[in-house]
Amino acid sequence: MDDTRLIQRNPTRSVKIGSITIGDGNPIAVQSMTATHTQNIDATVEQVNAIAAAGADVVRIAVDSKKDADALAEIRKQTTANLSVDLQENYRLAEQVAPHVDKIRYNPGHLYHHERDKPWQEKVRFIAGIAADNDCAVRVGVNCGSVDPNKLEQYDEDDSISPMLDSAVEHCDFLDSLDFTRYCVSLKDSDPQKVIEINRRFADRRPDVPLHLGVTEAGIPPEGIIKTRIAFEQLISRGIGDTIRVSLTVPNNRKGEEIDAGRAILADIAAGRVRSVVDYGLPTLNIISCPSCSRVENQAFIELAQDVREMTRYAKDHALTIAVMGCRVNGPGETDDADLGLWCAPNFVNLKRGTEELGAFAYDEILGRLKQELDSLIEAQTTQA
């Protein structure tokens, strides 16, 4: 018997995703995402099948262009895995990719990047119609780094949870009004405590909607697994969560570790092997990094994240956050809340101090400049103390 059936669950409705069903007491599904470039069909098929062989229930692929969509059609022919597609910033690609996948994920915050004068409701109506016509589920993926700008304007800048929550509920209500209920929701942040809080609040307001859980930019193992475990233990042990992903910064050939980590966490929760008290607000250095995925334009990002961790060990007792992002999609927004942020382009790394952009540096120069800024922040902290 699947050990996740031992976990008491919230009574969410069922949502079919290819050969599996989430919600309504079904086993908690475990997902991952490819890190290859989608147009590299052979490499992507190999990784999809490897992740599926590791035990993934759903494998997500990013599609950012018509060429990506064309490649997806061929990928579909070479795998039996349940496929989800990330629409990125172009919602109209749904029409091209839907015939080849089992689930479509869109981000409400990204609906503003194309056809800006068109109401988001029309765009969601388009996505839902395409999904219904092609037997696809939908995920409404709300992310801390790319929140609906209209929602952000309604709240104090220190309140990052309420805009995300309102955006998710609003999209659920609109999908319901279209009589499209084959959807789930995800609400992700790099801070486990915020993930816990926002998912608890959403589950209170919409207990019927299945939730996909994850800590975005969790980072390198083992820290990335620990951060994710903190959130999952607190949520799943309360019946919240129908599908999960452990987002780790690992090389392409180790993506299966995300599945192993997810299964291990679920098994521990089912067996009652959880912490009774969790405190993630420790006054120590916090390094967050996004998972390796197909949006990463240079695999040197993974080595950079590891190098940043090693170089900054001397600062481990200082309450500072360093964010290492691998792409232009998540990088600019999701480094804003960090004391120091890096987001990687193919040939250079952008460095930020808070929201202030400090410039672009070559991969072999960035560590030295990062150390200068880190030392400056430590000196400021010491002076204030």
**Cα(338)–Cα(341) distance, integer angstroms:** 6
The DSSP code sequence of 266-304 is: HHHHHTT---SS-----SS-EEEEPPP-TT-S-THHHHH
Residue with tokens 């999809």: 48
pLDDT of the residue at 1:
43
Supply the pLDDT for residue 268: 86
Angstrom distance (rounded) from CA 32 to CA 61:
9
Q: Which of 115, 107, 109, 58 minimizes the C-alpha distance to 87?
A: 107
Where in the chain does DSSP place strands (E)?
Answer: 15-17, 20-22, 29-33, 58-62, 83-86, 103-106, 137-143, 183-188, 211-213, 243-245, 286-289, 321-325, 340-344, 349-353, 356-361
Q: Which helix (H) or strand (E) holds 227?
A: helix 223-236
Which of 22, 17, 20 lies closest to 242 in space, CA to CA? 22
pLDDT at residue 5, as a whole number: 61
What pLDDT was estimated at residue 375? 96
Domains of the chain: 3-270 (3.20.20.20), 286-384 (3.30.413.10)
| Predicted pLDDT at 208 | 97
pTM of the predicted model as reported, rounded to 2 decimal places = 0.79
Ranges of the chain whose pLDDT falls below 50? 1, 276-280
Of 130, 257, 235, nearest to 188 (Cα)? 235
| Rounded distance between C-alpha atoms, residue 105 and residue 88, angstroms | 8
DSSP string, 6-57: GS----PPPEEETTEEESTTPPPEEEEE--S-TT-HHHHHHHHHHHHHTT-S
In this prediction, residue 280 carries a pLDDT of 44
- Cβ pair 335, 325 in contact under 8 A: yes
pLDDT number for residue 276: 41
- Asked if 55 contacts 30 with a C-beta cutoff of 8 angstroms, the reply is yes
pLDDT of residue 139: 98
Q: What is the pLDDT of residue 127?
A: 98
* Nearest partner of 328 among 293, 283, 364, 282, judged by Cα: 293
Query: For 122, which DSSP code?
Result: H
Question: Which one-letter amino acid corresponds to residue 294?
Answer: S
